Amino acid sequence: NAGVMQNPRHLVRRRGQEARLRCSPMKGHSHVYWYRQLPEEGLKFMVYLQKENIIDESGMPKERFSAEFPKEGPSILRIQQVVRGDSAAYFCASSPPRTGVNGELFFGEGSRLTVL
Amino acid sequence: AQKITQTQPGMFVQEKEAVTLDCTYDTSDPSYGLFWYKQPSSGEMIFLIYQGSYDQQNATEGRYSLNFQKARKSANLVISASQLGDSAMYFCAMRVTDSGGSNYKLTFGKGTLLTVNP
């Protein structure tokens, strides 16, 4: 399967714990995007990364959330000290460089975080 | 700011009939792309169809077609010959090139839950 791979698919955490979500983009894609889907809502942009660079994190909450895309390995979305409101589906998408307005984003299957 | 509105929280259709899912959008940017995604109960986001703002013809992909009315800023999805497997959430989304030249963000609507009845 050469698609966008996310893991874990489901993650349960207690309040105050840390959540780490991983995303491996499609082969040949160097751009990664994270979106969050709250219950009953559409997806909302969080952050856009290229290898070793955060390009746009305007959709990320100012505290507790961070993202990275290292030179080697998957992109990681990290949520520290989780709260119940962080319960959501987190989707990763990837694209090749120079994606125009008609460029399709390829989404992973999402990681569903439940905070108890 | 860009905005996508999907006014139908839920829709029902009989198997083998056609159904139209509404989507209106708001942007002042002349160059934009409109997308439809399907999200079945398993949760993944599946790309269905794309329409560019400068495209002269309505997009079609198999049983999916996009009824693009630029003056009315609408981009409705038409599914012909509905199948039971079409039951899912459907999201309309838009991408524009912002003032900084960036064009990577998708703005999503809240979705429409389609149920296909046998």
| Tens-place pLDDT, residues B68-112 | 999 999 999 999 999 999 999 999 999 887 666 666 788 999 999
Q: What is the mean pLDDT of residues A19-48?
A: 92
Q: How confident is the model at residue A8 (pLDDT cuts 50, 70, 90)?
A: very high
One-letter amino acid of B87: S
Between CA A52 and CA A59, with CA A54 as vertex, the angle to 5 degrees is 150
pLDDT band at A101 (very low <50, low <70, confident <90, very high): low
For residue A65, what pLDDT band results from cuts at 50, 70 and 90? Answer: very high
- Which residues does B contribute to its contact with A (CB < 8 Å)? 4, 31-33, 35, 37, 42-45, 47, 50, 52-53, 91, 93, 95-97, 102-111
Reply yes or no on whether the pLDDT at A10 is more than 60.
yes
For residue B95, which residues of chain A lie inside 8 Å, CB to CB? 101, 103
Phi-psi sector, B81: left (phi>0), alpha (psi -120 to 50), beta: left
Residues of A with CB under 8 A from a CB of B: 31, 33, 35, 40-45, 48, 56, 89, 91, 93, 95, 99-110, 112
Over pLDDT 70: what percentage of chain A? Answer: 93
Comparing A40 with B26, the larger pLDDT belongs to B26
Whole-number Å distance between alpha carbons of A93 and B95: 14
| Mutation site, B25, B106, B113, interface A, largest A CB count within 10 A | B106
pLDDT digits (tens, 9 = 90+) for B12-68: 999 999 999 999 999 988 888 999 999 999 888 899 999 999 998 999 999 999 999
pLDDT (0 to 100) of residue B34:
94
Average pLDDT, chain A: 91
**CB B108, CB A42: distance < 8 Å:** yes
pLDDT value at residue A42: 87
At residue A39, does pLDDT exceed 90?
no
Mean pLDDT of chain B: 92
Say which residue the tokens 């955490």 belong to.
A13
CA atoms within 13 A on the CB side of A2: 4
Q: Count Cα neighbours of A113 within 13 Å in the Cβ-side half-sphere.
A: 28
Indicate if the pLDDT at residue A30 is higher than 90: no
pLDDT given at position A2? 67
CA B90 vs. chain centroid, Å, equals 7
> Residue A99 pLDDT more than 80?
no
- Indicate whether A1 pLDDT > 60: no
With contact defined as beta carbons under 8 Å apart, do A79 and A18 qualify? yes
